[in-house]
Each structure stands twice: as structure tokens, then as C-alpha cells.
Amino acid sequence: MCLPEVAEEVKRCCKCPLCKSRTNPVPGEGDPEAEVAFVGEAPGKEEDLEGRPFVGRAGRLLRSAIEELGFERYYITNAVKCRPPGNRTPFQSEVEACKPHLVRELLCVKPRLVVALGRTAARALLGFDAPIKELRGKMLPAKLGRAELKVLVTYHPAAVLRNPRLKDEFLRDLRKAYEVAYKQTSLARFVGKDEARKGSGGEGEEEEGAD
Ligand code: SF4
């Protein structure tokens, strides 16, 4: 199973109550061979209307930073693929219900590095909860199903919009992600495509809000 199949699965999914309130499900998008995958929290209003991730204000901030820093091939997705009503933080039960989709996306893309944007994404990827200030800027190992990941945690761009003083650290973290993804060539990609096709079998919040 790879990205088009995962997207179809997301579009048909009703594994949590968010499928009843969404306008559109929002699968990830980007280069299927990306070096870096960015994982946010959940779609916001504009993403819900368009069915695409990171197309609102926070998304534009992220995309412009990614482009300015020179990331060539990247993938963008969220821990939860349907908008929580009123942009509330997704419940942990919703994150867990949606995690198999996230795992399958990452198994398809096989990025060198995953950037967790905010606490919800970090928790979904790392499997434990901690304040974002304790995690940001750190490179942490994670295992999602059969996927072994290198995860760099930073702020969600929505948090940066609310508090512009975070922007310097946010950009510093993205620069670090660039260095790791493109200059540290010893970092191995983590799984074979065959595993992605089999599906994950995977086990499968400041603040940032929706993307
Ligand atoms: S949020 Fe995820 S698990 Fe819930 S209905 Fe949407 S795609 Fe399915």
C-alpha cells in the first residue's frame, strides 16, 4: 500500500467520530520520495474546506519557511486527518484511531527525518507526552509499527503565529532538520517498500491548534 491507496483509505475512513463533522478528509501531500516529512496536528477550517493539509495561515508560514530554507522534496501531513470541531485539540482516542494512516504514509515515503510540529504530533510519533518546551530542538528516536524514525520536534506554526517570539527557534529547528536530512548522509532510511505495501499493523497538545 502506498500513498494513493492511503489517501483513498483516509477518504473512506470513519474510524472515529470526526468523520461525521468533517467537510473533507485531509490526507497528506507531497513528494512520495521526500527526505523530510512534516507532521502537524489536525486540519483547520481552510484545510477542511479544501481537503488539503497546511493551506491556512499557519500552513502558509510553514510552506514559505520550507521553501526559503531550500527543502527540495518534502511531505506534509497531520496526526489526525479530519478537522476537530472548532479546531479543538484532537482527543487522544482520535489520534490513536488515525495513527495507522500516519504510519502507512511514513512507511510509503520513508523519509530520512520526521519533523513533529507541536505537542500532538510529537506525542503521536514518540508515544509519550511532554511539554513542547522540553522536546523542541531535540532529535529523538521513535518506532511506529515497523517504522523506525528520527524525529525532530519543533513548534506548530500556529503557535508561532500566536507568539512571534517563537519564530527564531522555529526557524533554527527547521534549519537543523535541513542539515540532518541533506548533509548527514549516513542517516539510513528506515524501511523497505514491501513493508509499506503490507500496511503498518501499527499501534496505533499548546497550544498549536489546527494547521
Ligand atoms: S480522523 Fe482519522 S480515524 Fe478519524 S475518521 Fe478521520 S481519517 Fe478516520
Mind listing the pLDDT tens digit for each residue in 7-56?
999 999 999 999 999 999 999 999 999 999 999 999 999 999 999 999 99
The mean pLDDT value of the chain amounts to: 89
Mutate to test the pocket of ligand 1, among 15, 88, 91, 102 (most ligand atoms within 8 A of CB): 15
Whether residue 95 has its Cβ less than 6 Å from ligand 1: no
Compute the distance from residue 18 Cα to the ligand 1 centre, in Å. 6
Residue boundaries of the structural domains of the chain: 3-198
- What's the predicted TM-score (pTM) here? 0.88
Residues in the chain: 211
- Under DSSP, the state recorded for 70 is T
CATH class of 3-198: alpha beta
Q: How far apart are CA 34 and CA 111, in angstroms?
A: 6
